[in-house]
Structure 1
Amino acid sequence: MTETPNPNIVDTDTLTGEMRPIRRAVLALGSNLGERMASLQGAVNALADTPDVWITAVSPVYETDPVDSPPEAKTYLNAVVLIDTTLAASRLMDRALAIEDAFDRERGEVQNAPRTLDVDLIVVGDRRSDEPSLRLPHPRAAERAFVLRPWFDLEPEAEFPDRGPIADLLERTDQSGLKLRDDLVLEIQ
């Protein structure tokens, strides 16, 4: 899943003629404030409208207990989106932050505080980054059932870079706080 980009599969920038490899990326969506489902669907729509981003799959929606959150935090709706993109990881991160901002995401000093929308880059090709503004692969995703379970639903054979098969990682996580919401379906438009 997170293979090195194939140099034989490229997209040509129509303005510059620059050849850019297509990379697979995994993004996790979450919301526990406001119209949670509308926020998730809005994020999927915004990603679909992003130039040089092609959504290839959207997971089922899960309702999940908050993890490492303040006591007043309510349950989340979570999903995973798989995309192919020619965007650089930093540009994809900028887009994720812009989508969050469009849904009035407030960033405060409290870690894992309730939020209208969270759009996390989990994996972008084989890109590695330890910059404060871009950490790839996502440093905690391999331990989070609310990321691994929906990703597993889409790609049961996927590997988390440097950590192993997501199936094995999922087995080691506490899944008791996850509930599949068959009544909620995200659409690719």
Structure 2
Amino acid sequence: MKTRAVIALGANLGDKEKTISKAQKQIGKLRGVELVANSKKYRSQALTEQGVDPNEPEYINAVTIIDTSLSPKKLLSRLNEIENKFGRIRSTKWAARTLDLDIIIFGTSVVETKSLVIPHPRAQERAFVLIPWLEVDPEAALTGLGPVKELAEGMDSMVWVIQ
């Protein structure tokens, strides 16, 4: 049995566009994963613990939708392996990064462990997640919060499509 999952991708260090493209391909090649859709790439300002910071390098973001037979924990493990291949260093929370892969939803599952929270706890606040997601799934819903279309209202000006 396969479960539909939404993965948000982001990078603000290195060759960001190339990294996002390659990461999307690697996600689609994972055993137990079937690629459903990749969004276009979007630019967004860096988000830090204090909020948007125009002094930090801009992010390139995208969303990938998959169907998977992996468990949420196993999927997270595989995504962490991809991040590591791209030189991801986990120094501090909110730090700039070569690649960040987040599971936004996993079917309608609700998961709360030390290493994984699904649905992603801040997805509804993030234009760089909602706008690309809406592009590839106009009928999308964020578990427990409602239609992505409604959550994304007024956020169009916070991201810029580049592809």
Residue of structure 2 equivalent to 1:124: 106
Q: Quick check: 2:110–2:119 contact (8 Å CA) kept in 1?
A: yes
SS in 2 for 1:138: coil
Separation (CA, whole Å) in 2 of partners of 1:39 and 1:163: 31
Compared with structure 1, are the counterparts of its residues 146 and 166 closer, same or farther at alpha carbon in structure 2 (3 Å cutoff)? same
Residue of structure 2 equivalent to 1:153: 135
Residue of structure 2 equivalent to 1:108: 91
Residue of structure 2 equivalent to 1:167: 149
Residue of structure 2 equivalent to 1:92: 75
Residues 61-83 of structure 1 show CA distances to partners (whole Å, capped at 9, x for unaligned) of 10111122575421010000000
Q: Quick check: 1:30–1:119 contact (8 Å CA) kept in 2?
A: yes
Task: Give 5+ residue unaligned stretches, structure 2.
Answer: none
Determine which structure has more spread, i.e. the larger CA radius of gyration: 1
Task: Give 5+ residue unaligned stretches, structure 1.
Answer: 1-20, 183-189
1:157, distance to aligned residue in structure 2 (A): 1.2
Read off the aligned partner of 1:163 and give its amino acid letter. L
Q: Tell me which of 41, 45, 62 is aligned to 2:25.
A: 45
1:176, distance to aligned residue in structure 2 (A): 2.8
1:99, distance to aligned residue in structure 2 (A): 0.5
Residues 9-41 of structure 1 show CA distances to partners (whole Å, capped at 9, x for unaligned) of xxxxxxxxxxxx110000000111001012112
Q: How many residues align?
A: 160
Separation (CA, whole Å) in 2 of partners of 1:175 and 1:132: 33
Read off the aligned partner of 1:87 and give its amino acid letter. L
Supply the RMSD in Å over aligned alpha carbons: 1.4
Q: Tell me which of 1, 5, 10 is aligned to 1:30.
A: 10
**Percent sequence identity over matched residues?**
38
Read off the aligned partner of 2:151 and give its amino acid letter. L
Separation (CA, whole Å) in 2 of partners of 1:66 and 1:35: 16
Q: Quick check: 1:29–1:118 contact (8 Å CA) kept in 2?
A: yes
Q: Quick check: 2:28–2:66 contact (8 Å CA) kept in 1?
A: no
Read off the aligned partner of 1:27 and give its amino acid letter. I
